[in-house]
Amino acid sequence: MTLPSVQPSAAPPASLELPGHRLLLGTAEPMPLDNGGTLGPFHLAYQTYGTLNADRSNAVLVCHALTGDQYVAERHPITGKPGWWELMVGPGRPIDTDRYFVICSNVIGGCMGSEGPKETDPATGRPWGLSFPVVTIADMVRAQKLLIDHLGIDRLFCVIGGSMGGMQVLEWAATYPERVFAAVPIATAARHSAQNIAFHEVGRQSIMADPDWHGGDYLNRGTRPKRGLAVARMAAHITYLSEPALHRKFGRNLQDRSRISFGFDADFQVESYLRHQGISFVERFDANSYLYITRAMDYFDLAAEHGGVLANAFRTPGPKGGTATPVRFCLVSFSSDWLFPTCESRAVVHALNAVAANVSFVEIESDKGHDAFLLDEPEFYQVVRGFLEGCAEHRGLPRTGS
Amino acid sequence: MTLPSVQPSAAPPASLELPGHRLLLGTAEPMPLDNGGTLGPFHLAYQTYGTLNADRSNAVLVCHALTGDQYVAERHPITGKPGWWELMVGPGRPIDTDRYFVICSNVIGGCMGSEGPKETDPATGRPWGLSFPVVTIADMVRAQKLLIDHLGIDRLFCVIGGSMGGMQVLEWAATYPERVFAAVPIATAARHSAQNIAFHEVGRQSIMADPDWHGGDYLNRGTRPKRGLAVARMAAHITYLSEPALHRKFGRNLQDRSRISFGFDADFQVESYLRHQGISFVERFDANSYLYITRAMDYFDLAAEHGGVLANAFRTPGPKGGTATPVRFCLVSFSSDWLFPTCESRAVVHALNAVAANVSFVEIESDKGHDAFLLDEPEFYQVVRGFLEGCAEHRGLPRTGS
């Protein structure tokens, strides 16, 4: 009847068993963090697709969202499902791996091989748990920049991502404008709204209310707060969709029976669907990582990082109001996204206009809600393809990548 | 740091200790239920305000919402707070207790004295728990009708309520049209949407995932699933508000400190507010009741009860398409209510128009979300006052009640 019947076969595999690259960074000196401390040496796990060209000018950094990871365009090592952005990244896709060299790293604080609460604290030899520092979007980007340095890339051709990925894109453009040619922040915001903080807090409280959480020390206790994490995912998942999409997909359709059961089983298809979302999520995600990454999103406030004026994030100080960012922007929002509604993208566009930056902005008509950026939305892919092709021409990238 | 610090002093008081009336119904014969079974004898707890006039024509039945109760216009016996609708009900208020006799009963399935999972099953002498039958909105209304019979009221002057209360209003008008003079369904719908079922399912899963729930048998185990219920309330509470209201009230304001803590304490005011909502709720509400009442809302589908055509709910069969309901309707919605958006009320209005019923409809401009019907919205109170005064004139009610 209830989630207690959820018994995922096992915890996600140890990071050493995951396919792909895993780099030790911050070895010479630890990386500074926004909380005033440092991190290092630390691991960053990443994947690449395509080939870096001779002058290293065709690199595209993809930034993943809250529960995403580095497996952008290949089978996921745990779920066995296609990569989360195979519609966007691959041969002939808008981010064409025959032309571009695509990099995606798991964020720090994450649970797919990058340093995070699930990993081993070298100082103690035990899982970090809550002793892992609370990191920010800027910290995540700082780690990615070390990776880009390591790969010898002076300037990324493009940084692109949706939702929390879009926050990283904005942070990249604001902090390292000389290292970014083009930026595509999708379905995102320059700061997390009160409502979004509230939804995140519900998810965190659900995890922390699970007795198996053990104050974050569950890995040392041989447990995992599966039920709390599943409920957190269920609540969040509703916010990724839209009422019209839920109505179209499920309506009030009943599950495997002709009439209601007068009980608490999943009578409605939307209930089974949600339960499945919760159950499958705990098989691949770490509960403490969920706390850390939601917190990083809550803390994100790009204007606050620049004296309270968002436009200041996109100009370097100087006479006559400073110099506008050299980065070319293309912002995308989706009409039915109520988690990161269009007005949030528009606020960024206004700030970019205020410094006369190079910016285009498209709101895609879609009833699929926030998740639209992960789904089949032809107009969206056409917009990204067109923008990248235009930028590639400006950048002088040849038609083929290597 | 987390909800584990929540230790409400005690469980809600036993029903016998609650002030007000408590009636034993279904003594001659048990009440039939939609699930095919029966209930009875069973208790119904209720409150009244004002005086019933000589010809018993001035009775207003107020129907409460999911977590409401019969304490409409007096201090709540557990929380000590004002009645939940004191802005609406009282001397000189729109539902003027100097003129009308106001009745409100706790719904069956509830936890404030009416028969529900917290009460004692007479067959076993132990709390019902999950052996209490799963009831519907129609069952709740059937029990209220027995109360109205008991009070010797042939025809209610008005049935009024918001949210789930509005569902009961619609059910009353559809099932007992000859017993209702006027009906005011507020911020409600003729059926629960897929998104709303989804949010309810999250709340139920949160409760059922709490080990202290014990398969619903917690009262016999001396525990209460406080954490699960608190998280359920937090998630639900967000849906009662609106993004603009949350932004206006809290924005990204920090709680009792000048900067973020880089931790999982409640940094933001909206987080403390939500935690408080969760904590205070468990002091007054029963977790199993939460399961039952949310389920009743999920099951509500007035058109389905009438051959799939909503208009059929409002006409009696007969030649030339039958006879329109004699009930006078006033529907109210709020512009920022995304839980029961205006289109839901409009669907009811269309059905009423299709039978040429007497209906008026007002959408109130408000940024306060679904909870607006409980808050200070002068235009809303003006609409209800005006509608009731017009109806009172038609009904021939004198200016003073008794």
Distance CA B358, CA A222 (A): 65
Task: Tell me, yes or no, if B337 comes closer than 8 A to chain A by beta carbon.
Answer: no
Average pLDDT, chain B: 94
Q: What average pLDDT does range B177-199 have in this prediction?
A: 98
Do A367 and A339 reside in the same domain of the chain? yes
Task: Tell me, yes or no, if A244 comes closer than 8 A to chain B by beta carbon.
Answer: no
Residues 6 or more apart whose CB falls under 8 angstroms from that of A65 comprise: A161, A162, A163, A164, A165
Q: Report if residue A400 sits inside a domain.
A: no
Q: Report if residue A402 sits inside a domain.
A: no
Average pLDDT, chain A: 94
Q: Report if residue A14 sits inside a domain.
A: no
Which pLDDT belongs to residue A1? 37
Which pLDDT belongs to residue A277? 97
Q: What average pLDDT does range A38-66 have in this prediction?
A: 98
Cβ-based burial of B258 (10 A; exposed 0-12, middle 13-18, buried ≥19): exposed
Task: Tell me, yes or no, if B299 comes closer than 8 A to chain A by beta carbon.
Answer: yes
Q: Report if residue A401 sits inside a domain.
A: no
Distance CA B402, CA B99 (A): 7
Cβ-based burial of B221 (10 A; exposed 0-12, middle 13-18, buried ≥19): exposed
pLDDT-based confidence at residue A402 (cuts at 50, 70, 90)? very low
Domain with residue A274: its CATH number is: 1.10.1740.110
Which pLDDT belongs to residue A317? 77
With an 8 Å Cβ cutoff, are B4 and A34 in contact? no
Domain with residue B87: its CATH number is: 3.40.50.1820
Q: Which of B45, B220, B40 is nearest to B122 (CA)?
A: B40
Distance CA A395, CA A299 (A): 34
Does position B193 have pLDDT exceeding 80, yes or no? yes
Task: Tell me, yes or no, if B96 comes closer than 8 A to chain A by beta carbon.
Answer: no
Local structure of residue B318 (DSSP, 8 states): -
Work out the minimum CA distance from A229 to partner chain B, whole angstroms. Answer: 10
Cβ contact B223:B212 at 8 Å: yes
Q: What average pLDDT does range A19-27 have in this prediction?
A: 97
What is the enclosing helix (H) or strand (E) of A361? strand A358-364
Chain B residues within 8 A of A266 when measuring between CB atoms: 201
Chain center to CA of B304: 21
Which pLDDT belongs to residue B5? 41
Chain A residues within 8 A of B275 when measuring between CB atoms: 201, 205
Nearest by CB to A252, from B1, B268, B301: name it.
Answer: B301
Do A183 and A203 reside in the same domain of the chain? no
Task: Tell me, yes or no, if A108 comes closer than 8 A to chain B by beta carbon.
Answer: no
Which pLDDT belongs to residue A144? 98
The string of pLDDT tens digits covering residues B90-139 is 999 999 999 999 999 999 999 999 999 999 999 999 999 999 999 999 99
Q: Which of residues 159-198 of A touch B (CB under 8 A)?
A: 191-195, 197-198
Max intra-chain CA distance, chain A:
72
Which pLDDT belongs to residue B3? 43
Q: Report if residue B137 sits inside a domain.
A: yes
Which pLDDT belongs to residue A5? 41
Do A61 and A132 reside in the same domain of the chain? yes
Work out how many domains chain B is built from and give that number: 1
With an 8 Å Cβ cutoff, are A298 and B2 in contact? no
User: Which of A238, A269, A296 is the endpoint of a domain?
Assistant: A296
Q: Report if residue B76 sits inside a domain.
A: yes
Work out the minimum CA distance from A36 to partner chain B, whole angstroms. Answer: 10
Work out the minimum CA distance from B168 to partner chain A, whole angstroms. Answer: 18
Residue A30's domain spans which residues? 20-192+304-395
Disruptive mutation site among A135, A260, A310 for chain B (greatest number of B CBs within 10 Å): A260
pLDDT-based confidence at residue A325 (cuts at 50, 70, 90)? very high
Q: Report if residue B252 sits inside a domain.
A: no
Which pLDDT belongs to residue B258? 72
Which pLDDT belongs to residue A400? 63
Chain A residues within 8 A of B2 when measuring between CB atoms: 205, 208-209
Three-class DSSP category at B46: strand
Do A286 and A351 reside in the same domain of the chain? no
Does position A213 have pLDDT exceeding 50, yes or no? yes
Distance CA A147, CA A179 (A): 13
Task: Tell me, yes or no, if A206 comes closer than 8 A to chain B by beta carbon.
Answer: yes
User: Which of A280, A296, A312 is the endpoint of a domain?
Assistant: A296
Distance CA B138, CA B121 (A): 22
Do A250 and A322 reside in the same domain of the chain? no
Do A183 and A93 reside in the same domain of the chain? yes
Does position A7 have pLDDT exceeding 50, yes or no? no
Could you identify the residue written with the tokens 């009833």? Answer: A367
Task: Tell me, yes or no, if B24 comes closer than 8 A to chain A by beta carbon.
Answer: no
Distance CA B89, CA B181 (A): 19
Does position A80 have pLDDT exceeding 70, yes or no? yes
Do A85 and A207 reside in the same domain of the chain? no
Task: Tell me, yes or no, if A10 comes closer than 8 A to chain B by beta carbon.
Answer: no
With an 8 Å Cβ cutoff, are B247 and A195 in contact? yes
- The amino acid present at A241, given as its one-letter code, is L
Cβ-based burial of A277 (10 A; exposed 0-12, middle 13-18, buried ≥19): middle
Does position A376 have pLDDT exceeding 50, yes or no? yes
Does position B297 have pLDDT exceeding 70, yes or no? yes
Cβ-based burial of A299 (10 A; exposed 0-12, middle 13-18, buried ≥19): buried
Count of pairs with CB atoms under 8 A, one residue in A, one in B: 166
Does position A197 have pLDDT exceeding 70, yes or no? yes
A208 φ, ψ (degrees, to nearest 5): -70, -20
Three-class DSSP category at B104: strand
Nearest by CB to B205, from A199, A231, A251: name it.
Answer: A231
Cα distances from A125 to residues A120, A129, B386, in angstroms, run 6, 12, 72
The nearest alpha carbon in chain A to B210 belongs to A210
Q: Report if residue A15 sits inside a domain.
A: no
Work out the minimum CA distance from A42 to partner chain B, whole angstroms. Answer: 19
Do A138 and A54 reside in the same domain of the chain? yes
Does position B1 have pLDDT exceeding 60, yes or no? no
Which pLDDT belongs to residue B148? 98
The string of pLDDT tens digits covering residues A56-74 is 999 999 999 999 999 999 9
User: Which of A296, A321, A349 is the endpoint of a domain?
Assistant: A296
Do A32 and A135 reside in the same domain of the chain? yes
Output helix, strand, coil percentages for chain A, rounded to the nearest 5: 40, 20, 45
Chain B residues within 8 A of A263 when measuring between CB atoms: 134
The CA-to-CA distance between both ends of chain B, in Å, stands at 56
- HSE, side-chain direction, 13 A CA sphere, residue B42: 30
Which pLDDT belongs to residue A64? 98
Work out the minimum CA distance from A334 to partner chain B, whole angstroms. Answer: 17
The string of pLDDT tens digits covering residues B142-179 is 999 999 999 999 999 999 999 999 999 999 999 999 99
Could you identify the residue written with the tokens 């929390």? Answer: A164
The string of pLDDT tens digits covering residues A275-315 is 999 999 999 999 999 999 999 999 999 999 999 999 999 99
Q: Which of A364, A305, A350, A352 is nearest to A328 (CA)?
A: A352
Which pLDDT belongs to residue B196? 98
The string of pLDDT tens digits covering residues A214-267 is 999 999 999 999 999 999 999 999 999 999 999 999 999 998 767 899 999 999
Q: What average pLDDT does range B195-224 have in this prediction?
A: 97
Cα distances from A183 to residues A24, A328, A336, B285, in angstroms, run 27, 6, 23, 50
Which pLDDT belongs to residue A296? 98
Name the more confident of B398 and B246: B246
Does position B16 have pLDDT exceeding 50, yes or no? yes
Which pLDDT belongs to residue B11? 56
Do A215 and A173 reside in the same domain of the chain? no
Do A243 and A96 reside in the same domain of the chain? no
**What percentage of chain B carries pLDDT values higher than 90?**
91
Do A256 and A310 reside in the same domain of the chain? no
With an 8 Å Cβ cutoff, are A208 and B134 in contact? no
